[in-house]
Structure 1
């Protein structure tokens, strides 16, 4: 493995934590004997092109500096190349970092962990979800949660997480069950009225919400969590339990596992790793061992 590695940076992640994370992470890597280059972009498309260029030039590892959105972009550059993906978690949610067990918001510690892992060969293959030509690491969200994202993305003010808190309140006011058609591996069609359907390669989204708590990054399967039709009061009761993953014990919640999932519903957008994929219907596949990651 070449001693040159690439930091793939989102300077705006975590309200500027991404930019501040670069120096301590790079210092830790250089202290371990690695040569470090930094890749930024004018926008997502330019950043992805630059990351792909670094991979094609033979970088020893692509290290995403930011949150889950940056990880998602980095995945598109490294899948199928054999180039390991590392993570300096400096975003708001950091759900992929939680799934991997890497340090959160401690770039120097994360840099030291990555350097040690690369020297010792602690690189492993994990599964990814795939929708068309897009890859994701954590969870594909659809329904109430994706409508909150839709509304928040349309709002100019306020900024930050408070915008999405307001969007959630507005969507609670408009809450209605959504008719879904869900098709799993066996081909049987399940027609359900649901509040949301989440398809998990990993267990969490939204900064630690364990919506698919038993999802395994290495089992070749997707966990499908269906929260059935419920009113506002009941949804507000269920919501806090998602952080512990105990919502799956509620009678309104069903969990399925499959390697291929088709979701269809009118007027619903799918989001994966917090990034919009487009309107349903969407077909999600689990791809075993799709990417190599640097881990503790």
Structure 2
């Protein structure tokens, strides 16, 4: 018999509605093993902090069941409540679960939940002008990949495995270079770029190995800047992102630090550059000269069963 207890927070819309199908057999197996299990369904990030607070106060492990966006909202609330977190992937991307090496097999997931050790994992603290800071698990990005994420959100009619590749090609087909100012630990650089990614996890975009050397327990951010290139060249190089080979390209710069700021606008038109984090939109990148997007590492911010 186990003494561990759980509160599952499930986004019923994740993975095209597959999340409830994932959680029900797990909850049954855990109860059979003697664990106490509660299951709450919500697609509203606004109610997550209260649910997590109650669970943490009762000493329950909070289990995020959904995608990367759900995980980030839950992880921040777990940090604030001083609780422990577990992750069961049931979304479209599941990139942070991939980084955590969460198994897909049900038996292995049960073993992880019952026997996993709470392990400190880094998170990102993200600030935008006019809005409170939020904690993010995987990565923050500005440019063509944020545009691709917007397209994914409107592509539910496509098979899950095709959503990210097709969205990436569509975003690259209409992309414009952006004039970006990037500052890392006080060192400022200027770029004419297609995209900048501030990564805690090496994976995003459903398995793209965007930051191959990133670690979730090293207290450092990996900043990947993809300099501007022709649309055809960018589309041709897209497959390299899936195995990390893109970092060897001359147009790709990988920088590291603990505090990163980014600002800028699209070339010529001064149109705003979209910003995203773990599949969720954060709005528009501040213009250079304004208070910038700021991302800081929070070393060992949350304890995750691993």
- Preserved CA contact (<8 Å) 1:114 1:294: yes
Give me the CA root mean square deviation: 2.1
* 1:45 corresponds to 2:20: no
Distance in structure 2 (CA, Å) of the matches to 1:243 and 1:34: 39
Provide closer, same or farther for how the CA distance between residues 190 and 220 of structure 1 changes in structure 2, counting only shifts above 3 A. Answer: same
- CA apart distance, 1:294: 0.2
Partner of 1:291: 302
Distance in structure 2 (CA, Å) of the matches to 1:152 and 1:87: 22
Distance in structure 1 (CA, Å) of the matches to 2:65 and 2:72: 12
Q: How does 1:101-250 map to 2 (within 5 A)?
A: 101-104=101-104, 106-117=105-116, 122-132=117-127, 133-153=133-153, 155=154, 158=157, 161=160, 167-185=167-185, 187-250=186-249
Q: Deviations over 1:186-229 (max 9, x none)?
A: x2221110110001011010111011111011111100001111
Q: Deviations over 1:38-62 (max 9, x none)?
A: 112363313443233322x323210
Partner of 2:289: none
Structure whose residues are more often strand by fraction: 2
- Preserved CA contact (<8 Å) 2:121 2:302: yes
Provide closer, same or farther for how the CA distance between residues 152 and 23 of structure 1 changes in structure 2, counting only shifts above 3 A. Answer: closer
* 1:271 corresponds to 2:276: yes
- Preserved CA contact (<8 Å) 2:16 2:156: no
* 1:75 corresponds to 2:75: yes
Question: Which stretch shifts more, 124-133 or 190-199?
Answer: 124-133
* 1:257 corresponds to 2:256: yes
Q: Deviations over 1:125-152 (max 9, x none)?
A: 0111111321111111211011222345
- Preserved CA contact (<8 Å) 1:88 1:107: no
Q: Deviations over 1:259-296 (max 9, x none)?
A: 0000112211221111122322310000111000000x
Between Structure 1 and Structure 2, how many residues are aligned?
A: 287
Distance in structure 2 (CA, Å) of the matches to 1:101 and 1:2: 24
User: Is the partner of 2:197 in helix, strand or coil?
Assistant: strand
- Preserved CA contact (<8 Å) 2:164 2:206: no
Question: Which stretch shifts more, 272-281 or 62-71?
Answer: 272-281
Distance in structure 1 (CA, Å) of the matches to 2:49 and 2:42: 8
- CA apart distance, 1:167: 4.6
The alignment's TM-score, normalised by the length of structure 1, stands at 0.89
Distance in structure 1 (CA, Å) of the matches to 2:123 and 2:14: 23
User: Is the partner of 1:215 in helix, strand or coil?
Assistant: coil
* 1:18 corresponds to 2:19: yes
List structure 1 segments (4+ residues) > 6 angstroms apart after TM superposition: none
Q: Deviations over 1:153-175 (max 9, x none)?
A: 4x588466566666544433322
- Preserved CA contact (<8 Å) 1:6 1:59: no
Provide closer, same or farther for how the CA distance between residues 160 and 270 of structure 1 changes in structure 2, counting only shifts above 3 A. Answer: farther
Provide structure 2 residue ranges, at least 5 long, that are not aligned to the other structure.
128-132, 266-271, 286-291
Distance in structure 2 (CA, Å) of the matches to 1:79 and 1:108: 28
- Preserved CA contact (<8 Å) 1:88 1:111: no
User: Is the partner of 2:207 in helix, strand or coil?
Assistant: coil
Provide closer, same or farther for how the CA distance between residues 157 and 222 of structure 1 changes in structure 2, counting only shifts above 3 A. Answer: closer
Provide closer, same or farther for how the CA distance between residues 15 and 107 of structure 1 changes in structure 2, counting only shifts above 3 A. Answer: farther
- Preserved CA contact (<8 Å) 1:181 1:191: yes
- Preserved CA contact (<8 Å) 1:65 1:90: yes
